[in-house]
Amino acid sequence: MTTYTKEQIKQLLKIYFIMGSNNSTSDPEFILEEALKGGISVFQFREKGDGALMGEDKIQLAMRMQELCKQYHVPFIVNDDIELALSVNADGVHIGQDDENAIKVRKMLGNKLLGVSAHSIEEIQAALDAGADYIGIGPIYPTSTKKDAKAVQGTSLVEIVREKNFSIPIVGIGGITVENARPVIQAGADGVAVISEISMAENPYKQTIELRKAVFDQA
């Protein structure tokens, strides 16, 4: 459904960084550029929750962060906000089960990337049928970033998906750190998605490099 092949998408998911202005005590643009220098493979702009920017402020931040991604040739994905994604010509959108209907979003996006969060085989199959390009599975580990996070399920669903030979690219999310990333890849995920592991790191550049080592050592 996109201009990316399945193998290219699997590579994009390796180090999947998610952040909004409220996910760090530092300047979000500084954090993003350090993460880009460190080697993130895709960035998702997620401006949601307490203290999130609204309206024109949100749009302007999205555009500045998108410009940074362009400089480093890293795809810029928008979380949930399809209108924003289309207005800034983002590379794609990621939606959850409580967001817009995936079939409708696919029609609106055309050949842009579509990621869908899923928590069961049934949800994964529905996302596949809707034309999703990749699946986000989690929370793998306990997380405090998302207040409405589902129950922690470890790597069990990732393993089941691979046992059933679903070929769709998978990114694991939820409480993933440098220390616990390897089991997620070993279970069959193509990459790991993180927020605070990079956004709250003392040195986001070095933290990104360490996360890459943890992921690529298992590739």
**Looking at 24, 146, 199, 212, which residue is catalytic?**
146
Residue 140: inside a domain: yes
> Which pLDDT score, from 0 to 100, does residue 148 have?
60
CATH of the domain at 96: 3.20.20.70
Residue 99: inside a domain: yes
| Confidence tier at 218 by pLDDT (50, 70, 90) | low
Question: What is the 3-class SS of the chain, one letter each residue?
Answer: CCCCCHHHHHHHCCEEEEECHHHCCCCHHHHHHHHHHHCCCEEEECCCCCCCCCHHHHHHHHHHHHHHHHHCCCCEEEECCHHHHHHCCCCEEEECCCCCCHHHHHHHHCCCEEEEEECCHHHHHHHHHHCCCEEEECCCCCCCCCCCCCCCCCCHHHHHHHHCCCCCCEEEECCCCCCCHHHHHHCCCCEEEECHHHHCCCCHHHHHHHHHHHHHCCC
> Which pLDDT score, from 0 to 100, does residue 146 have?
62
Rg (alpha carbons) of the chain, rounded to whole number: 16
Confirm if 102 and 60 have CB atoms less than 8 A apart: no
| Residues 98, 173: Cα–Cα separation, whole Å | 17
Residue 1: inside a domain: no
pLDDT digits (tens, 9 = 90+) for 16-61: 999 999 999 999 999 999 999 999 999 999 999 999 999 999 999 9
Residue 134: inside a domain: yes
Using CA atoms, how far residue 131 sits from 41, 49, 111, 121, in Å, is: 22, 28, 10, 15
> Which pLDDT score, from 0 to 100, does residue 50 have?
92
Which residues participate in the annotated binding site?
44-48, 79-80, 99, 117, 143-146, 175, 195-196
**Whether residue 149 has pLDDT greater than 70:** no
The average confidence (pLDDT) of the chain is 94
Q: How many domains does the chain have?
A: 1
Is 58 one of the catalytic residues?
A: no
Residue 188: inside a domain: yes
**Whether residue 4 has pLDDT greater than 60:** yes
pLDDT digits (tens, 9 = 90+) for 72-130: 999 999 999 999 999 999 999 999 998 888 999 999 999 999 999 999 999 999 999 99
Lowest mean pLDDT among 68-77, 131-140, 151-160: 151-160
Residue 22: inside a domain: yes
**Whether residue 147 has pLDDT greater than 80:** no
| Confidence tier at 2 by pLDDT (50, 70, 90) | low
Q: Residue 126 is part of which domain span? A: 6-216
**Looking at 21, 41, 117, 199, which residue is catalytic?**
117
Residue 139: inside a domain: yes
**Looking at 10, 14, 41, 46, which residue is catalytic?**
46
> Which pLDDT score, from 0 to 100, does residue 99 have?
80
Is 14 one of the catalytic residues?
A: no
Which residues participate in the annotated binding site for Mg(2+)?
80, 99
Is 146 one of the catalytic residues?
A: yes
**Whether residue 219 has pLDDT greater than 60:** no
> Which pLDDT score, from 0 to 100, does residue 31 have?
98
